[in-house]
């Protein structure tokens, strides 16, 4: 799409990398029509652990791993800050007690500094590569222990655990600094660095790696963090966060994951309700799902702020043509539904009456002729 709108304007204190004019706003370069991207997504049936047939790798006498999907690059080192999505089950009952995919927020694990109940999970993540998805079997000793947990999450005592884990990516920071220990500027700078790395991957057509970088950038800008920001710091954060959501939406549309694309655009529109790119891409996704009225509404809002944009006008024209085609189809379908309109039947005639009428008329005519002759 060629909609030329500015992203949220960064404040003067924006990190240098984000203000580099040479880099340019990459989300202007990501077009729905040209994007090609393959990204993993959680399986549809998430009530039970997935069935995995790959070989089992023993990482620890209490931690075993089976690869579901291969990753790339190196594994994180000690004190690396890792961003992961996971589902967790009690092995004996298959009770699912946690699901970060459902919450739509990845969690952060600093290798070597994880919580005690996540020791086994940390061992597994420390032996994974970016983009890898795996099934981990963790003994109770490296999970919630003899006591278990009776609040949240609800895990019984001495429960062996099963994790389905995806390592989105990691920061190989030697100091092992968690997001909560970073200053506002540090978190925005870390997110901006991820966004720019994602842009570079995208230019190289390494789309899976690009998506992972965008997801990590967004993870730095979590809701708990954004709620604390006001003024220039909020503008700085949105200048990094919103383009990442827009870029992910473009990739998701190309993958035909339209509901997820709508969600990404809606996040941007909750902060900037007249963002033309977000309106256009959400309209595109809605149109693909057959939500034509909602799509038209998005396109018309986008047109209001970019009246000359050819792609917006094209999508509105396609919707109009679609409506016309549907109308014609319905017209043809209902045209012969009840058959041809019945013609009124002529009334049955009384031939005896007609005969007497003719006979009376004949007698009258003969009488007239006879009278004229007598005169």
pLDDT for 247-284, tens place per residue?
A: 888 888 877 889 989 999 999 999 999 999 999 999 99
d(CA 231, CA 251): 31
Q: What is the CATH number of the domain that holds 66?
A: 3.10.50.40
CA angle 75, 91, 82 (to 5 degrees): 25
Number of domains in the chain: 2
**What pLDDT score was predicted for residue 209?**
79
| pLDDT-based confidence at residue 374 (cuts at 50, 70, 90) | low
Best CA proximity match to 190, nearest among 159, 165, 213, 164: 213
Are 214 and 244 spatial neighbours (Cβ–Cβ below 8 Å)? Answer: yes
Both structure tokens of 263: 């969600």
70: Cβ contacts below 8 Å, ≥ 6 apart = 129, 131, 132
- Whether 329 is in a domain gets the answer no
Same domain, 206 and 291: yes
- Whether 206 is in a domain gets the answer yes
d(CA 79, CA 14): 27
Same domain, 194 and 158: no
- Whether 350 is in a domain gets the answer no
**What pLDDT score was predicted for residue 147?**
93
Range with lowest mean pLDDT among 190-199, 287-296, 325-334, 335-344: 335-344
Same domain, 187 and 112: no
Q: What average pLDDT does the chain have?
A: 81
- Percent of the chain scored above 70 by pLDDT? 81
Helix 310-335 to helix 276-288 angle, to the nearest 10 degrees? 20
Q: What is the DSSP pairing of strand 154-155 with strand 56-60?
A: unpaired
CA angle 116, 120, 126 (to 5 degrees): 110
Same domain, 317 and 206: yes
Are 268 and 239 spatial neighbours (Cβ–Cβ below 8 Å)? Answer: no
Q: What is the CATH number of the domain that holds 200?
A: 1.25.40.10
**What pLDDT score was predicted for residue 5?**
36
Q: What is the DSSP letter of 72?
A: B
Same domain, 143 and 190: no
| pLDDT-based confidence at residue 72 (cuts at 50, 70, 90) | confident
- Span 72-77, average pLDDT: 89
Q: Is the pLDDT of residue 30 over 50?
A: no
Phi, psi of 204 (to 5 degrees): -85, 5
Higher pLDDT: 120 or 171? It is: 120
- Whether 15 is in a domain gets the answer no
- Whether 209 is in a domain gets the answer yes
**Taking the model in full, what pTM does it have?**
0.64
- Whether 217 is in a domain gets the answer yes
- Span 143-156, average pLDDT: 92
Q: Where are the alpha helices (H) located in 204-230, listed in sequence order?
A: 207-220, 223-226
Best CA proximity match to 243, nearest among 227, 267, 207, 226: 267
**What pLDDT score was predicted for residue 343?**
62
- Whether 49 is in a domain gets the answer no
Neighbours of 97 (CB within 10 A): 18
For 109, the domain range is: 56-171
d(CA 132, CA 166): 6
| pLDDT-based confidence at residue 3 (cuts at 50, 70, 90) | very low
- Span 98-107, average pLDDT: 83
**What pLDDT score was predicted for residue 11?**
35
- Span 18-39, average pLDDT: 37
- Whether 38 is in a domain gets the answer no
d(CA 135, CA 13): 43
d(CA 199, CA 129): 21
For 274-306, what is each residue's pLDDT tens digit?
Answer: 999 999 999 999 999 999 999 999 999 999 999
Q: Is the pLDDT of residue 233 over 80?
A: yes
């Amino acid at each position: 799409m060629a909609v030329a709108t500015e992203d949220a304007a960064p404040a003067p204190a924006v990190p240098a990398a984000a203000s580099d004019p040479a880099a340019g706003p990459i989300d202007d370069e990501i077009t729905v029509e040209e994007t090609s991207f393959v990204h993993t997504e959680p399986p549809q049936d998430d009530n039970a652990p997935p069935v995995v047939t790959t070989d089992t790798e023993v990482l620890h006498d209490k931690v075993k791993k089976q690869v579901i999907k291969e990753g790339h690059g190196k594994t994180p080192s000690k004190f690396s800050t890792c961003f992961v999505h996971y589902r967790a089950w009690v092995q004996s009952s298959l009770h699912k007690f946690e699901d970060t995919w459902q919450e739509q927020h990845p969690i952060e694990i600093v290798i070597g500094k994880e919580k005690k109940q996540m020791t086994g999970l940390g061992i597994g993540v420390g032996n994974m590569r970016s983009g890898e998805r795996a099934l981990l079997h963790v003994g109770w000793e490296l999970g919630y222990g003899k006591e278990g947990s009776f609040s949240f999450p609800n895990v019984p005592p001495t429960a062996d655990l099963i994790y389905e884990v995806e390592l989105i990516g990691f920061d190989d920071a030697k100091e092992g600094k968690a997001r909560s220990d970073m200053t506002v500027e540090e978190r925005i700078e870390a997110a901006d660095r991820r966004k720019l790395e994602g842009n570079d991957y995208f230019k190289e057509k390494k789309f899976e790696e690009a998506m992972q970088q965008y997801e990590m950038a967004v993870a730095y800008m979590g809701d708990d963090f954004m709620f604390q920001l006001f003024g220039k710091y909020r503008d700085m954060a949105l200048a990094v966060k919103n383009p990442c959501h827009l870029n992910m939406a473009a990739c998701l549309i190309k993958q035909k994951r339209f509901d997820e694309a709508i969600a990404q655009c809606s996040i941007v529109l909750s902060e900037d309700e007249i963002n033309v790119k977000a309106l256009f891409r959400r309209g595109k996704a809605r149109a693909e799902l057959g939500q034509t009225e909602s799509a038209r509404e998005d396109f018309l809002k986008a047109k209001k702020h970019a009246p000359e944009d050819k792609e917006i006008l094209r999508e509105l024209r396609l919707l109009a043509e679609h409506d016309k085609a549907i109308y014609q189809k319905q017209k043809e379908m209902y045209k012969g539904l009840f058959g041809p309109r019945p013609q009124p039947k002529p009334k049955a005639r009384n031939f005896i009456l007609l005969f007497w009428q003719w006979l009376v008329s004949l007698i009258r005519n003969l009488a007239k002729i006879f009278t004229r002759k007598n005169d």
